């Protein structure tokens, strides 16, 4: 039940990802703002794919009044050598420039899936440290996320160990509930994290129980994510948020929802579903005793060799 807070205040910790919505960037931003969101997670294609150029996309975001939750996603950066490494450094520099132009304070980097990447943890840590150093002049933090199909780093626990090994103040953890549940990592491991080193949390519910193959995980990642409360993992999501809250995490949550069905729906309808999900998480999960998942009022329902810190 809503109390004295406005909708915008109640859901201020939550934002949508532009990848969830169809249409031009300006229409996506308008739909998010119309239902009370104050932040948006942006991706590189929002800028470079804009018909008037990436600077015009930056102006559209600024004109919307929405704060950039973060900018995504730098892939396969760590572990490469020679010309492949330099290629990725150039990509990173371009993404940092766009991230800074947007006023975003967080760049998301996900663990490498490249067969050309080294699996030596010192090499990986050295590259992450270099990325973090490149971001310092821009005042940007690097949120490093372990993909469940990553070659060496495929759980948030191994990502956390690598972050500690790299030891940079602006290098922290990006948590994605999809990859956490797909990797079947125990939520008890959350207790070993430092809340101020978690730079971003991405949330989605799912229309499945588990995946068994790489191909299934890839397909599910792109087509079957739904908003928290709409899928079969609502109890786990509730537990995750409550553990993060108890840990002391006070940062942003972004709805990282890939769903082909949503791309065939009018933007206001999808944004409204996201708003309802954010209100449920804010007012019921984080502030009131946790209800059963079906109480939500929606239409649908590898380890590194180093020791843990």
Give the CATH number, domain containing residue 105: 3.20.20.150
In this prediction, residues 88-92 reach a mean pLDDT of 98
Question: pLDDT (tens digit, 9 = 90+) per residue, 250-293?
Answer: 999 999 998 889 999 999 999 999 999 999 999 999 874 444 44
Tokens 């998480």 correspond to 281
Residues with Cβ < 8 Å from 40, sequence gap 6 or more? 15, 16, 17, 18, 28, 29, 32, 61, 64, 66, 67, 68, 69
Is residue 4, in this structure, part of any structural domain at all? no
Tokens 């070659």 correspond to 151
Contact 140, 99 (CB under 8 A): yes
Is residue 1, in this structure, part of any structural domain at all? no
Is residue 172, in this structure, part of any structural domain at all? yes
Task: Please state, as a whole number, how many other Cβ atoms lie within 10 Å of the Cβ of residue 115.
Answer: 6
Q: Which alpha helices (DSSP H) does the chain contain, by range?
A: 7-10, 25-34, 44-48, 54-64, 82-102, 121-135, 156-166, 177-182, 214-223, 234-247, 267-279
Is residue 306, in this structure, part of any structural domain at all? no
Domain count, the chain: 1
Which pLDDT band holds residue 304 (cuts at 50, 70, 90)?
low
Is residue 52, in this structure, part of any structural domain at all? yes
Is residue 309, in this structure, part of any structural domain at all? no
Is residue 7, in this structure, part of any structural domain at all? no
Is residue 285, in this structure, part of any structural domain at all? yes
Residue span of the structural domain in which 123 resides: 12-295
Alpha carbon distance 291, 174 (integer Å):
27
pLDDT in the model for residue 208: 67
Residue 131 CA from chain centroid, whole number: 18
Residues with Cβ < 8 Å from 192, sequence gap 6 or more? 157, 160, 308, 309
**Burial class (CB within 10 angstroms; exposed 0-12, middle 13-18, buried 19+) of 236:** middle
Is residue 301 over pLDDT 60?
A: no
Alpha carbon distance 103, 86 (integer Å):
26
Question: pLDDT (tens digit, 9 = 90+) per residue, 38-83?
Answer: 999 999 999 999 999 999 999 999 999 999 999 999 999 999 999 9
Residue 161 CA from chain centroid, whole number: 19
Report the candidate in 52, 41, 24, 46 with the shortest Cα–Cα distance to residue 274.
41
Look up the pTM and report it: 0.88
Residues with Cβ < 8 Å from 193, sequence gap 6 or more? 160, 173, 247
Contact 159, 275 (CB under 8 A): no
Question: pLDDT (tens digit, 9 = 90+) per residue, 7-30?
Answer: 888 899 999 999 999 999 999 999
Residue 153 CA from chain centroid, whole number: 16
């Amino acid at each position: 039940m809503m109390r004295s807070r406005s909708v915008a205040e109640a859901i201020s910790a939550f934002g949508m990802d532009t990848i969830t919505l169809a249409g031009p960037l300006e229409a996506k931003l308008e739909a998010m703002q119309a239902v009370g969101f104050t932040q948006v997670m942006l991706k590189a294609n929002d800028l470079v794919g804009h018909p008037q150029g990436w600077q015009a996309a930056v102006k559209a975001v600024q004109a919307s009044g929405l704060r950039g939750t973060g900018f995504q996603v730098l892939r396969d950066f760590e572990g490469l050598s020679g010309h492949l490494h330099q290629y990725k450094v150039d990509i990173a520099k371009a993404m940092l420039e766009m991230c800074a132009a947007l006023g975003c304070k967080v760049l998301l980097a996900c663990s490498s899936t490249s067969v050309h990447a080294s699996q030596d943890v010192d090499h990986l840590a050295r590259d992450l440290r270099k990325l973090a150093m490149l971001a310092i002049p821009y005042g940007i933090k690097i949120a490093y996320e372990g993909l469940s199909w990553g070659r060496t780093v495929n759980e948030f626990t191994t990502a956390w160990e690598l972050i500690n090994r790299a030891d940079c103040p602006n290098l922290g953890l990006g948590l994605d509930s999809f990859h956490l549940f797909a990797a079947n990592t125990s939520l008890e491991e959350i207790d070993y994290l430092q809340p101020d080193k978690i730079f971003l949390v991405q949330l989605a519910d799912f229309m499945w129980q588990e995946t068994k193959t790489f191909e299934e995980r890839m397909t599910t990642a792109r087509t079957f994510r739904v908003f928290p409360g709409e899928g079969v993992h609502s109890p786990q999501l509730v537990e995750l948020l409550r553990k993060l809250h108890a840990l002391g995490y006070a940062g942003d949550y972004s709805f990282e929802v890939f769903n082909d069905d949503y791309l065939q729906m009018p933007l206001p309808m999808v944004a409204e579903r996201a708003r309802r999900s954010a209100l449920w998480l804010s007012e019921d999960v984080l502030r009131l005793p946790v209800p059963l998942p079906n109480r939500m009022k929606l239409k649908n329902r590898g380890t590194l060799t180093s020791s843990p810190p």
